[in-house]
Amino acid sequence: GEEDLVPDLTTQQWATLETGLTRTKMQVVFSMDEPSVAVGNLYWTLRDFDRMILSYCKDHGVRFEDDRLDALGTDKIVLFGRPDSKNKELWCLMKRGYIYVRGVRIWVQPPFTGRKVLNLSLCEIEYVNTNEIQPSELVEAIQTWGGTDALVVSHAVNVGTPAKWPAIMCLRNMSRTSPELL
């Protein structure tokens, strides 16, 4: 299950990971698949979840600069913020790739590193996984390359559906992240 996503790292490995995070220009992006979702009798956009997302993060040991998230985009809004601390709690928050707020799945990830103004100090490997892989196998591969751990992020199309997947589904199900492969 998803508990397998958080690796059993040693104290030294966590320290190494946190040291690496502190050297990044880390931002965290929150998004939804749809522009709005039904919450009770109303339709909420991502902006309506802003304070609740901050509260959820705070409850899980993650705070953001100025206790705020900024909105970006017009049709498909994303919220982003710079975490005050770049630590184990932040890493664990992002490992699943989502949180639930009022029963709605909100995606949590670092922004795509290919954009010039965002997050350039994180390494990103983009790949298509057409075979099931266990989280421990992925971490083992990353560690043989000198890394400590990996975040699995779903960016695009998965099995013909233009929506993101949780990290565990990306690893455990056949997925295709490029429309050319469908």
- What are 102-107's contacts with CB under 8 Å, separation 24+? 102/39, 102/49, 102/52, 103/39, 104/32, 104/37, 104/39, 104/44, 104/49, 105/32, 105/33, 106/30, 106/31, 106/32, 106/46, 106/49, 106/53, 107/29, 107/30, 107/31, 107/32, 107/33, 107/164
Domain boundaries, the chain: 7-181
pLDDT tens digits, one per residue of 3-62: 777 778 899 988 988 888 888 778 899 999 888 999 999 999 999 999 999 999 999 999
Q: pTM for the complete prediction?
A: 0.76
